[in-house]
């Protein structure tokens, strides 16, 4: 009997080893890494179809497969909305065996049509198969003598990617560039635990998988997203990957996507040469890791530098007793790499103001590296804002350090002589002199102790919990104001963002103030809203330059405003007249969408 039991145990172990081995070696079908041939073209070449009078419309008809084959009334997801001035589109099927039939309506001037370089009858439809995801079809139309030409592209997306529901109102007003960002639908029930574990084993190995699962058990993402995912995702009819990294063209159609590791930030940059840490053309990015479940933060990450093409990558080393913070990385105007880490200060440490810490604390640690990887500048929040200024709890039941500051946005002010540092747990944004590091002023929750401004004409009385801020000129600041949300008293087994405070407003906005630094007033100018509910987590905003030619033929540079709505699952772009010109609804949570013009990269 013992011998039989021994053989059984050995057999089970062999079977487990075989399953683990196959999971480690066989790439899951749901891991994707796509890059369009348009990626390294100028923004105009990516998005301009040529003659906009040759294609009048595109009509679509979907045939659903699998368990939805008999379903009716489901929305068809091809985006953006058709406009003859927009070249690239993407189809988001429901199932891997769906098909899409496209019927173009051509101008009477069209004499020839090519599909992927092959002649195609003018009145013949074009069929896409969802199983051929990651492929683009090229549709070219010309007149009889070839003097007029239009070129369009339609990309088939994997069936479990979130539809990027983009609506364009005026393509001529959209700023050029590529858009980078991440969409997440973590812990959603449509994506099986088996698929999650297979993907983790393949990308993280056995040790990394156990660490990730342990951390996820201690802090599930829906702890802090604060919006039911089913509110803006179609769980009844679609499967969703836990996260997707995107690079999009200026209108919101994918140029590049992958889901090997969640990237909080993916920024293209340019420097003067290829020497040292930073290549002349490259990407700085952060990947989320969950490598130590004894520690505090949901945004622990790893920082990487990769050259254009991403053939190799270099990890940015850690310094001191720190953890990489996924909220910020950038290349500064003077060619250094500016990075953000959490810095650990153990219990008993005497800080700059003379206080002795009675618990372990993590602060915001900003630093810059030159091409040799040497630190050339550093700033620590604890030197300027002691933990006594915070409005957050120490979640002692879950982590061993108190994240009292929690920077979620760092931006240079115009001119590069100040930094705006957004501190979530201080419910404040600080203007910091650069490079001295001295704090010039603090704009914050009027109920907090460190706000220095009197709010004027703001119907809500001031900002609350916030994510990111940006300056326009010397005296206007725009703040992503998440809003207050009810927070119960701290109790065992809970984790709370922010100390309890009476709810002042229950919606999210980007709000603009005119600052008077002598009278220390912040006068309300206007606000932008998009999701009709509170965006509890994340959010970002930035200005994007756009050249506009006037009636006199003169060209002037204006700025569009790009807002990423965090757990509201959307990003929007507004022109200089504050008109909404593009909206993209992704559902789930969007993290930190940026827009950059890379035309100078192109040879």
For residue 45, give the CATH number of its domain: 2.60.40
Q: What is the pLDDT of residues 391-401, one digit of tens each?
A: 765 554 455 77
Sign of dihedral through CA atoms 119, 123, 124, 125? positive
Q: At 274, is the secondary structure helix, strand, or coil?
A: coil
* Structure tokens that stand for 73 in this block: 């009334």
Residues 440 and 569 in one domain: yes
- Look up residue 40 and give its two tokens: 């390294």
Confirm whether 326 is domain-assigned: yes
8 within a domain of the structure (yes/no)? no
pLDDT score of 32 more than 90: no
What is the pLDDT, as a whole number, of residue 337? 95
CB atoms within 10 A of CB 23: 18
Query: For tokens 């957004």, what's the residue?
Result: 422
Of 236, 258, 226, nearest to 189 by C-alpha is 236
Task: Tell me: do 445 and 491 sit in the same domain.
Answer: yes
Residue 320 CA from chain centroid, whole number = 28
| Residues linked to residue 33 through DSSP beta bridges, in sequence order | 258
Q: Does residue 387 surpass a pLDDT of 60?
A: yes
Q: Give domain status of residue 165, yes or no.
A: no
Determine contact, residues 537/507, Cβ cutoff 8 Å. Answer: no
* Same domain assignment for residues 195 and 142: no
> Sign of dihedral through CA atoms 581, 584, 590, 595?
negative
Element (H, E) at 571: strand 570-574
pTM (2 d.p.): 0.90
My answer on whether 417 and 562 are in the same domain is yes
> Does 27 map to a domain?
no
Report the C-alpha gap between 5 and 28 in whole angstroms: 34
For the chain, the maximum distance between any two Cα atoms, rounded to a whole number of angstroms, is 96
The DSSP bridge pattern shows strands 570-574 and 118-120 to be unpaired
**H/E run at residue 90:** strand 88-91
Query: Does 216 score more than 70 pLDDT?
Result: no
The reported pLDDT for the residue numbered 219 is: 47
> Is the residue at 571 inside a domain?
yes
Shared-domain flag, residues 324 and 447:
yes
Residues 229, 235, 236, 241, Cα dihedral to 10°: 180
Q: How far apart are CA 68 and CA 238, in angstroms?
A: 10
User: pLDDT tens digits, residue range 539-572?
Assistant: 999 999 998 877 777 888 999 999 999 888 899 9
pLDDT band at 223 (very low <50, low <70, confident <90, very high): very low
Tell which wins on pLDDT, 126 or 446. Answer: 126
Give the residues across from 432 on adjacent strands.
Answer: 419, 439
Q: Does residue 167 lie in a domain region?
A: no
Q: Does residue 225 share a domain with residue 138?
A: no
Question: Quick one: pLDDT at residue 420?
Answer: 97
Last residue of a domain, one of 159, 186, 218: 159
Structure tokens at 289: 């890791």
CA gyration radius, the chain: 26
Instruction: Check if the beta carbon of residue 467 is closer than 8 Å to that of residue 540.
Output: yes
Identify which of 327, 333, 336 has the alpha carbon closest to the alpha carbon of residue 365: 327
In 3D space, the residue among 316, 309, 341, 315 whose CA is nearest the CA of residue 328 turns out to be 341
Q: Which of these, 36, 61, 4, 314, lies nearest to 154 by C-alpha position?
A: 36
Same domain, 154 and 260: no
Does position 12 have pLDDT exceeding 60, yes or no?
Answer: no
Structural domain count, the chain: 2
Of residues 130 and 27, more confidence is placed in 130
Mean pLDDT confidence for 166-170: 97
Whether the pLDDT of residue 23 is over 70: the answer is no
- CB neighbour burial string for 103-116, b if at least 16 within 10 angstroms, e if fewer: ebebeeebeebebe
CATH number at residue 454: 2.130.10
Can you tell me the mean pLDDT for 451-456? 96
Instruction: Give the span between the Cα atoms of 324 and 276, in whole angstroms.
Output: 21
- The domain of 104 spans 33-159
Does 59 score more than 90 pLDDT? yes
Q: Are residues 293 and 395 both part of a single domain?
A: yes
Mean pLDDT (whole number) for 58-78: 95
424's tokens: 């979530």
Tell me whether residue 419 is in a domain: yes
Shared domain check, 117 and 244? no
Same domain, 567 and 430: yes
Query: In this predicted model, which residue has the larger pLDDT, 81 or 200?
Result: 81
**First vs last C-alpha separation in the chain:** 74
> Prior bond to 435 cis, omega within 30?
yes
Q: How confident is the model at residue 113 (pLDDT cuts 50, 70, 90)?
A: very high
3-state SS class at 209:
helix
């Amino acid at each position: 009997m013992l011998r039989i039991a021994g053989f059984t145990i050995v057999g089970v172990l062999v079977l487990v080893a075989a399953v683990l081995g196959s999971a480690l070696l066989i790439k899951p079908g749901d891991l994707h890494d796509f890059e369009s041939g348009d990626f390294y073209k100028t923004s105009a070449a990516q998005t301009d179809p040529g003659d906009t009078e040759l294609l009048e419309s595109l009509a679509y008809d979907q045939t659903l497969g699998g368990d939805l084959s008999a379903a009716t009334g489901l929305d068809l997801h091809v985006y953006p909305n058709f406009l003859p001035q927009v070249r690239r589109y993407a189809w988001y099927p429901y199932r891997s065996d769906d098909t899409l039939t496209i019927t173009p309506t051509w101008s009477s001037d069209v004499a020839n049509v090519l599909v992927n370089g092959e002649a195609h009858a003018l009145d013949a439809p074009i069929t896409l198969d969802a199983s051929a995801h990651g492929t683009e079809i090229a549709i070219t139309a010309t007149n009889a003598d070839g003097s007029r030409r239009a070129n369009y592209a339609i990309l088939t997306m994997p069936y479990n990617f979130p539809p990027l529901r983009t609506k364009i109102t005026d393509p001529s007003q959209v700023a050029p560039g590529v858009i980078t960002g991440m969409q997440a639908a973590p812990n959603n029930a449509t994506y099986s635990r088996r698929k999650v574990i297979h993907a983790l084993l393949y990308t993280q190995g056995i040790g990394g998988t156990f660490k990730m699962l342990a951390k996820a058990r201690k802090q599930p993402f829906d702890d802090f997203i604060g919006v039911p995912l089913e509110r803006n995702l179609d769980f009844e009819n679609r499967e969703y990957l836990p996260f997707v990294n995107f690079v999009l063209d200026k209108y919101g159609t994918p140029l590049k996507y992958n889901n090997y590791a969640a990237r909080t930030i993916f920024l293209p940059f340019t420097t003067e040469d290829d020497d040292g840490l930073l290549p002349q053309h490259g990407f700085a990015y952060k990947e989320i890791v969950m490598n130590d479940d004894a520690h505090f933060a949901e945004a622990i990450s790893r920082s990487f530098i990769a050259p254009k093409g991403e053939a190799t990558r270099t990890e940015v080393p850690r310094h001191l007793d720190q953890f990489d913070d996924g909220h910020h990385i950038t290349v500064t105007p003077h060619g250094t790499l500016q990075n953000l880490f959490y810095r650990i200060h153990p219990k008993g440490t005497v800080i700059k103001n003379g206080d002795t810490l009675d618990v372990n604390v993590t602060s915001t640690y900003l630093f810059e590296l030159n091409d040799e990887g040497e630190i050339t500048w550093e700033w620590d929040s604890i030197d300027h804002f002691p933990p006594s200024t915070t409005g957050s709890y120490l979640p002692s039941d879950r982590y061993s350090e108190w994240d009292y500051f929690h920077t979620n946005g760092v931006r240079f002010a115009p001119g590069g002589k100040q930094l705006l540092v957004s501190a979530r747990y201080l419910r404040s944004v600080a203007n910091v002199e650069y490079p001295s590091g001295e704090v010039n002023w603090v704009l914050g929750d009027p109920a907090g102790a460190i706000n220095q401004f009197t709010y004027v004409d703001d119907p809500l009385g001031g900002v609350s919990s916030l994510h990111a801020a940006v300056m326009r000129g010397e005296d206007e600041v725009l703040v992503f104001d998440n809003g207050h949300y009810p927070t119960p008293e701290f109790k065992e087994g809970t984790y709370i963002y922010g100390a309890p405070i009476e709810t002042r407003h229950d919606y999210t906005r980007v709000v603009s103030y005119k600052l008077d630094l002598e009278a220390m007033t912040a006068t309300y100018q206007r606000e932008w809203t998009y999701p009709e509910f509170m965006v509890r987590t994340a959010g970002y905003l930035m200005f994007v330059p756009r050249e506009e030619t006037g009636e006199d033929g003169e060209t002037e540079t204006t700025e569009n405003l790009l807002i990423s709505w965090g757990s509201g699952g959307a990003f929007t772009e507004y022109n200089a007249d504050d008109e909404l010109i593009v909206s993209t609804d992704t559902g789930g949570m969007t993290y930190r969408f940026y827009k950059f013009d890379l035309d100078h990269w192109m040879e």
